[in-house]
Amino acid sequence: MECIVHFTVGHKEGPKKLRGLIFVDKGETPTGEQLLDMFHEMEYRVVPDTHDELLFKPENGAESYTFIRVNELDMGQERYTEDRNLKALLNELLPKQRTGL
C-alpha cells in the first residue's frame, strides 16, 4: 500500500513543502527507519530528533537546510477539506437563485 509523506524542509530562504512515497503493508504506518530511508534516497542525510519523532535534523551542520518536519501521512483514506476560496469563487460565478415572487 502506498503512503504519501507530506513534509516541510526548513531552508534559510523559507520552508519548502515536499512529498515522498513509502510502500507499507495494508493497515500499517511507516516506521521511523522507513522515513529515514526515504529521506536518504532523496539525498537528505538526517537523524531523528530525540524529543519529536516527526522532526529530523541534518547529520552535517553545513547543510543548506535546518530541519525536516513530517506534516502528514496520506494512506489513501478519503477525506474532505473545505476550500473556502473555491467556495467563494463559485458563489460569485453561479447565478443567484431567486426566492419568492
Q: Which domain holds residue 6?
A: 2-75
Query: Is residue 12, in this structure, part of any structural domain at all?
Result: yes
- The DSSP annotation for the chain comes to -EEEEEEEEEETTEEEEEEEEEE--TT----HHHHHHHHHHTT--EEE-SS-TTEEEESSTTSSEEEEEEEEEE-S-------HHHHHHHHHHSPPPP---
- Residue 61 placed within a domain: yes
Write the pLDDT tens digit of every residue in 1-60: 899 999 999 998 999 999 999 999 988 888 989 999 999 999 999 999 988 888 999 998
Residues 89-99: pLDDT tens digits? Answer: 767 776 666 66
Residue 97 lies in a domain: no
Indicate the pTM of the whole model: 0.72
- Report yes or no on 71 lying in a domain: yes
Number of domains in the chain: 1
pLDDT at 59: 92
From the list 42, 1, 36, the residue with the least C-alpha distance to 19 is: 42
